[in-house]
Structure 1
Amino acid sequence: MKRSRKALWRGTNLLWVSELAYKMKDNARILFLVTVVTSIASMSASFVLAVDETNRKEYENNPFAIEYYSFDEQHTEQEFAAINELLDREGVSYRSFKVENLYRRTVHDAVPSVEVIAASRFNQLAAAMNLPEAAPDSGEAILISSPAQPSHGHMTPGDKITLDSGHTVSVTEVFEREALPFMSWASILVVNDNSYRTIQGDAKSSVLFVYHVPEWNSRPPSGTDSPEAVIGAELKKRLQENREQYGTSNSFSIRIGSYLSLKQATALFSFIGIFIAFLFSVSSASFLYFKLYTELAADSKMYHALSKIGLSASEMRTSATLQIGLLFFVPIVISTVQTLIVMRPVLGTMYVYSVYKPVFIVSAAFLAAQTLYFFLVRSRYLHRLKRMTV
């Protein structure tokens, strides 16, 4: 701005540009401190929001309230009947589906492993998963993946996937979900029934029973007193008693239990993160406030001298507002960029991929708070300067 003589010598630009250039150098340390403090506060609040957002999305993207994994056929029917009996007794409307799949490794880094499922089985689940029914031809497949998977990469229609069994299929469609409804550590590969039998060979399919309860597929419940949480807790207790009594290797997953467990586990971190964000937000504003007031005497003398040669009160307010505004808002911009750069790899190691939305929400909150501090400091600062004008 100093190099543009035309812009520099227009109105009061010379005054505030020169003053700001001096203050940026003089206040470099305080600006650095404010930026670091704001960044730490942004990171702590963003981490809390990102974990909570991912937990909520995993709940909402999983249409199946109960998942029962059958590894021990001897007790499967008994436990399956116990689940149905409890749901029927409580008057819950549900549909259960039997899923058979094959776990296979691949030779691709983008999709290191897949769960192969036959199209006929997948089409029974498609409506509940909010996906179209699949009808792949022989040698073709539909891929459903999630960024929450390790080594997640992107594949496009036309790419080929080679399984460790030696079979190769061509991907015709790719669907990406933020959280898969089941088997979340491997992508889902949908093939036609003949291809499934060919890939299966002599291997034994894994068996999974999933329960779709339409009345529970809304917003996540806020506490443990919801019907889903009460029934889920009772079902979990009953199935655990069966496992202890019969020593069965079957396992189960209750959606609401996983959601509430993570929510309760992060409750303390949420309080700490928000408290740190609030404390550091006030601290950063205080740093700038006291720094401006230490310079008030020198600024008062300068504006008093300038008022003698014709600087008006409105021009003085404009110049001071620009200087104060940049000192308050530049750290917010830099801390937002820094938080985005730092949080993405950190959250990625935890398979938390909701980064941008939490960071921008936190940055907007800090911007709102900083704007409030700005107007408070500006009004007091200008009030003191106004008394020095002639």
Structure 2
Amino acid sequence: MNLLSFAYRNVSRSKRTYGAFFLSSSFSVMVFFIYSMFIFHPDVKSGTIEALAIKAMEVAQWLIYIFSFFFILYSTSAFLSARKKELGLLSMLGMTNKKLRLLVFMENMFISLFSILTGIGFGLLFAKVFLLVGSKFLGLEPLSFYISWKSLSLTTIAFLALFMVITIFTSLMLKQTKLIELLVGSAKPKKEPKVSVWFSLLAIILFGVGYYLAITTTENNMVHRLLPCVASITIGTYFFFTQMSVFILKKLKKSRSFFWKRTRMLIISDLVFRMKDNARMFFLVTMVATVAISSVGAMASLNVYSKQFETNRPFALTYLYPNEDSIHEKNLETIEQDMKLQGMDYQKVEVHGKEAISGNTKNKVLLVPLSSYNEIATAKGYKTIQLLENETMIVPANLKYMHTIDTTPRDIPLAEVNVTLSLKGMVDQPIFNQYSIYVNQLVVHDEMIETLNNAKSFHYVGYMMDGWLENFEQTSKIGKSIHDQVMNNFEQLQKGEINQPPFIFTSAGYDYKMTKLAYRTMMFIGLLVGAVFFIAAGSFIYFRLYTDLEEDQVRYRAISKIGLTDKELKKIITSQLQCLFFIPIIVAVIHSLFAFTALQSLYTLSIVKESLIVILVFFIAQILYFLLIRQRYFTQVKRKMVL
């Protein structure tokens, strides 16, 4: 039998052991291939999809590629470690070191080719489904089935190069291994794990620092806190598994009432060694699962934004201009004609106010006539207000500002106009669209507006339409020519050709359409990337179990000879597997909960429901995976005990 045939038969014989590796690597190839199909699709290239979605997919595609490199490197190292005895025997039977490394190289390349072919094959099989689902997520017309040679060649070349580099790397690792090390394999006697109390305490401190940074994060300081928070949690997690978990188990061993009871002695004693041996694997699984849960949870929470969107935009369309000009009358006529063509009823509200500078904060404020405020409040179903002469109330620019505004009754002098207002409080909600006006407003008597002849004016025209959010596609088309002028004015402003735009036009329907496209893109990416990460996290555990399988079979067979029943054996295995599967996921969930707490600072409405649903889905998936692996693992252990 030649070496090539031997390598192929060896891979075929070990397909059960390599099952999780095939699944995870093939899934990574498939997702990479799917993103390539989207990116190289002719409808995408012709401008059917926004450039933002394409860029996001390219980033996600190469993120999966980089992650796949480290995942496959860990997998091949784990399998190489599990096969040391077999390789040692082949070496004793006369196989040279060169041929031994060539054998491993051929085996890895067989696995690589199978993974690439399987991934691309399933990608092609489900291509139409993914294109339909993807275009639905992105709010596009259904994309037709199309096979791009660019996506096929890119996926094949990229993953062949990845597997080639890893295969060469593992062959070099094998070259450094001595024969005696191969023969001994993993059967070396284990010493009692040693841990440090100080490193265990450091894990608690780092968790405390990371969690404190997360729960005290605000929209303003999130960027600055992100790196130290992630670093604290990551380092703390490493010390938790390498030091603190073993320290806790060793303390439990000293408790006679807990330790000396039925099978706990066997479970705890074995866990002390397992936790130490698997600490790095637990760390990897926890961090990968945290990324998966947090990313999918973050994408799911974006659904809350649609509820928050309408609250922050009382008007479907807004038009803001500083001075009277015929161009504004023409633009408003165009907007109203578009609404009539779309068959949409509307209510028009005009606000003519003044600009001023607060003598206290030196910030610009807009003075809104009391009659205009009450007109908008009545139309929207808000509370109307009454003011005495020189009294005023603050109107927040948006919902988030409401929590930061000082509403203490006080005098507010207005610079340049020699007027002092008496602050009465703050209204319950904004009356202007978010991002159409960026500053807070003050409601004042109409007579006050009329006396401020020298102050700058502002004119705000808003159009209310019932059900604009449900019909955002129609609403987004209104005033398209005006919107094009706004974009042109913005470009001129950036180039310094103008000092300020002549007018500002915003369409809530257009803003919602673009925001929804961005969030749907992120959700589509988050689900696929999260699935890759979660499957990989489960595969790490699977690899470790089958790496230690032979050693576990010998140990359980020896224990069974002194009277261990099948029921007790199943209980021991279940308890140990529960620790392997659920300790990392529980720690990951705790990390994710604090990540969601930090994310909540970006929203006015609660994201608790969306966060809990994502966590529940991940837990159910982990339970199903645990039940499947437990049954297979118990069958493998029993088979050895019967023989």
TM-score, normalised with respect to structure 2: 0.50
Identify if the C-alpha distance between structure 1 residues 113 and 311 changes in structure 2 by more than 3 Å, giving closer, same or farther: farther
Matches within 5 A, 1:176-215: 181-183=433-435, 186=438, 188-193=440-445, 197=449, 202-215=454-467
Letter in 1 for 2:264: N
Residue correspondence of structure 1 range 7-18 to structure 2 within 5 A: 7-18=258-269
Residues 62 and 182 in structure 1, CA contact (< 8 A), matched pair in contact too: yes
The Cα offsets for residues 123-172 of structure 1, whole Å up to 9 and x where unpaired, read as 222255553223355545245364656xx853465365856638464453
Distance 1:322 1:210, change over 3 A: farther
Q: Contact 1:106 / 1:113 at 8 angstroms: preserved in 2? A: yes
Is the 8 Å Cα contact of residues 50 and 354 (structure 1) preserved in structure 2? no
Q: Secondary structure at the match of 2:467?
A: helix
Q: How far off its partner does 1:205 sit?
A: 3.3
The one-letter code of the counterpart of 1:134 is I
Evaluate the alpha carbon distance shift between residue 71 and residue 112 of structure 1 in structure 2; reply closer, same or farther with a 3 A threshold.
closer
Partner of 1:253: 506
3-state secondary structure, aligned to 1:362: helix
Cα-to-partner distance string for 1:43-87 (whole Å, 9 max, x where unaligned): 433443344543553245423211111234212223223323332
Deviation at 1:33, TM superposition (A): 1.0
Where in structure 2 are the equivalents of 1:205-284 lying within 5 Å? 205-216=457-468, 220-221=469-470, 226=471, 228-237=472-481, 240=484, 249-284=502-537
Q: Which residue of the partner structure matches residue 79 of structure 1?
A: 331
Q: CA deviation at 1:253?
A: 0.7
- The equivalences for 1:90-239 within 5 A come to 90-102=342-354, 114-127=365-378, 129=380, 131-137=382-388, 138-144=390-396, 146=398, 148=400, 154-155=404-405, 158=408, 160=410, 162=412, 165=415, 167=420, 169-170=422-423, 172-173=425-426, 175=428, 181-183=433-435, 186=438, 188-193=440-445, 197=449, 202-216=454-468, 220-221=469-470, 226=471, 228-237=472-481
- Offset of residue 34 of structure 1: 1.0
Corresponding residue for residue 370 of structure 1: 622
**Structure 1 residues 5-84: aligned runs within 5 Å:** 5-51=256-302, 53-54=304-305, 57-59=308-310, 61-74=312-325, 75-84=327-336
Aligned pairs for 1:246-325 within 5 A: 249-325=502-578
Show structure 1 runs of 5+ residues with no match: none
Cα distance change of structure 1 residues 352 and 316 upon mapping to structure 2, 3 Å threshold: same
Is the CA contact 1:95–1:213 (under 8 Å) kept in the aligned structure 2? Answer: yes
CA distance in 2, matches of 1:201, 1:20: 81
With a CA cutoff of 8 Å and minimum separation of 6, indicate the structure with the bigger relative contact order. 1
Measure, in 2, the Cα distance between the counterparts of 1:295 and 1:284. 18
Letter in 2 for 1:230: Q
Percent identity of equivalent pairs? 25
Conserved 8 A contact 1:67-1:253: yes
User: Shift of the alpha carbon at 1:105?
Assistant: 6.0
Deviation for aligned residue 1:181: 3.1
Higher fraction of strand: 1
Cα distance in 1 for partners of 2:394, 2:282 equals: 52
Deviations 1:277-304 (A, max 9, x none): 1111110101101111222222233333
Q: Do the aligned partners of residues 353 and 16 (structure 1) sit closer, same or farther apart at CA in structure 2, a change above 3 Å counting? A: farther
Report the CA distance between 1:378 and its aligned residue. Answer: 1.6
Measure how far apart 1:41 and its partner are.
Answer: 2.4
Structure 1 residues 286 and 250: alpha-carbon distance in aligned structure 2, compared to 1, 3 A threshold: same
Matched residue of 1:272: which SS?
helix
Distance (Å, rounded) in 2 between the aligned partners of 1:304 and 1:361: 42
Distance 1:181 1:139 in 2: 24
Partner Cα distance (1:2, 1:60) in 2 = 57
Alpha-carbon spacing, 1:337–1:126, altered in 2? closer, same or farther (3 Å): farther
**Other structure's SS at 1:64 match:** coil
* Counterpart residue type for residue 272 of structure 1: I
Structure with the greater alpha carbon radius of gyration: 2
Contact 2:475–2:509 (8 Å) recurs in 1:
no
In terms of mean alpha carbon deviation, does 45-54 or 59-68 score higher? 45-54
Instruction: Give, in whole Å, the separation in 2 of the partners of 1:271 and 1:234.
Output: 29
Q: Distance in 1 between matches of 2:623 and 2:360?
A: 50
How far apart, CA to CA, are the structure 1 residues paired with 2:447 and 2:262?
Answer: 77
Q: Is there any run of 5+ residues in structure 2 with no aligned partner, and where?
A: 1-251, 489-497
**Residues 136 and 192 of structure 1 are in contact (CA less than 8 Å); yes or no, is this contact kept in structure 2?**
yes
Aligned-partner Cα distance in 2 for 1:43–1:103: 44
Distance change >3 Å, CA 346–CA 128, structure 1 → 2:
same
Cα deviation, residue 37, structure 1: 1.6
How far 1:330 moved relative to its partner? 2.5
TM-superposed deviation, 1:25? 1.4
CA 1:263/1:322 → structure 2, altered by over 3 Å: closer, same or farther?
Answer: same
Aligned-partner Cα distance in 2 for 1:161–1:304? 85
Which amino acid in 1 is paired with 2:481?
K
Q: Is contact 2:356-2:455 (8 Å) kept?
A: no
Query: In 2, Cα distance between the equivalents of 1:319 and 1:353?
Result: 48
- State the number of aligned residues: 374
**CA separation of 1:170/1:26 partners in 2, compared to 1, >3 Å: closer, same or farther?**
farther
Structure 1's 363 and 374: CA in aligned 2 closer, same or farther, altered over 3 A? same
Q: 1:215 aligns to what SS in structure 2?
A: coil
Taking a change above 3 Å as real, the CA distance of residues 209 and 194 of structure 1, as seen in their structure-2 partners, is closer
Deviation at 1:211, TM superposition (A): 1.1
Change (3 A) 1:157 1:294: same
SS for the counterpart of 1:252 is strand
User: Using the alignment, how far apart are the partners of 1:15 and 1:53 within structure 2?
Assistant: 49
Measure, in 2, the Cα distance between the counterparts of 1:112 and 1:337: 42
* Contact 1:95 1:212 (C-alpha < 8 Å) held by counterparts: yes
| Partners of 1:114 and 1:11 in 2: CA distance | 74
CA contact (8 A) 1:160 1:170 kept: yes
Letter in structure 2 aligned against 1:335: A
Q: Name whichever of 111-120 and 284-293 sits farther off.
A: 111-120
Shift of 1:91: 3.2
Shift of 1:387: 4.2
